[in-house]
Amino acid sequence: MTKPSAPVLVALPAPAPAPAPGRSTGTQTCTPTSTEPPLGSPWPASARPGSGGEVLVGGVGLAESAERFGTPLYVLDEEEVRARARAYRRALPQAEVLYAAKAFLCSAMADWVAEEGLGLDVCSSGELWLAAAAGFPAQRILLHGNAKTPEELRLARRLRVGRIVIDGPAEIARLAALVAADTPQRVLVRVVPGIAAGHHEAVRTGVGGQKFGFPIEGGDAADAIARTLAQPGLELVGLHCHLGSQITEVEPYLAAVDALVRLLAEVRERHGAELPELDLGGGHGIRYLPEDGELDLPDFASRVSGRLSERCAEAGLAVPRLLVEPGRAVAGPAAVAVYRVLSVKHTADGRCYAAVDGGMSDNPRPALYGSPYTARLVGRRSDAPPAPMDVVGRHCEAGDVLVRDARLPADLRAGDLLAVPAAGAYQLSMASGYNLVGRPAVAAVRDGRARLLIRRETVEDFRTREVGR
């Protein structure tokens, strides 16, 4: 695949150490792989303790990476991403697996999932452009989103993306106007099956009364399907649904299969058409804490495939090809965020706050959803007993708390490094420019070597966006 040219690096003034002047930021051999047992979930499978309190990921020390690239730093384990992509292909050999780019996307990630045989699910022209620039095959791209602009639809048509998900009434006519009957666009209609699933009400997208899709109840979905079938330039190939995020049980997906197969049977009865595809979306949950549950992929694959075959047999339908869109489950466990402690504060009420050089600008999930994380001291061995501490960010918000009640050594001090696992999904992709702090750098690790994928966002980046005063 075509590789983008390497960016020019610009140092950002920060409390964290920056790469030394003249020092290479390219691929470089680092700490040798540890022989210690792995740390276990929620850490990447390659994560192992090293000497002197170090933690190795992909054979590379996190503290060493922090000294080399600066902090905050996101360390992305390439082999973990690839292994998780391969696990989906093994579990669902007859299905089409599309990586959900909204979890995290960069050119290297696009390369890895393409090379492992996955498609790509994008929901903006930015994600689409980046994928195209990285050389991702357009026919393996699916575009969805509840508010696609006319420009995004035109771009998708120009690039010849494989599928577009119709999410609202206006998109039917808008897309049909862009398509000639002799070059039809393959589409799916997103339906809302009325199933509540997900870790927070803000991400439960399978129920009615919200902005996504066409509810089955009340007939909106049936009307959208009829209107789409009436357009000669649109080739309706299937139904799409997405239930929510961080789902750890299989049962909601089984209920979705039941609802969607009933709708497929109605489509055949009313229109004489059997749709060949059924997209159940993603939302597959991972562990953020060791005690968390996660979606069992082999169990999901077996039970969903079996239920789909069973319900189609009962309805006399051919079994449609299954599509799934994992994002978090591929990227989330593959990254570790590394922060430097700036201060440790003890309050009169007995609380302890460890303030770090990142926060809600690179990980808004705790502030948005109350999402839990764990943290670990790296780069220094401590024999001090563990004490509860809130790991807080540097931003001007009382809610800027990254980890509540983390168990950290009581002698934690300024200058120490903290590592937060399960950091690969919906952190950098949702990062902001709050307080003009700048988004962190991303380094990839594999086989004892590290390389910079995304440079740190700088004050100069913010300044060059200004065009007047």
| Catalytic site positions | 396
Question: CA-CA distance, 190 to 165, in Å (whole number)?
Answer: 6
Q: Are 183 and 161 in contact (CB under 8 A)?
A: no
Q: How many residues does the chain have?
A: 469
Question: CA-CA distance, 102 to 33, in Å (whole number)?
Answer: 32
Percentages helix, strand, coil for the chain (3-state, rounded to 5) are 30, 25, 45
What is the rounded (10 degree) CA torsion for 355, 361, 362, 365?
90
DSSP annotation of 284: B
Q: Write out the two tokens for 356.
A: 């770090």
Q: Write out the two tokens for 342.
A: 């700036």
Tell me how many degrees the CA angle 151-153-155 measures, rounded to the nearest 5: 70
Q: Write out the two tokens for 180.
A: 């000639």
Residue 364 CA: distances (Å) to CA of 289, 348, 371, 389: 17, 28, 9, 19
Residue 48 CA: distances (Å) to CA of 38, 55, 68, 307: 5, 6, 20, 39
Beta bridge partners of 451: 444
Q: Write out the two tokens for 468.
A: 């007047």
Question: E strand or H helix at 378, and its extent?
Answer: strand 376-378
Q: What are the φ/ψ torsions at residue 54 (nearest 5 degrees)? A: -70, 155
Question: CA-CA distance, 73 to 69, in Å (whole number)?
Answer: 7
Question: CA-CA distance, 162 to 143, in Å (whole number)?
Answer: 8
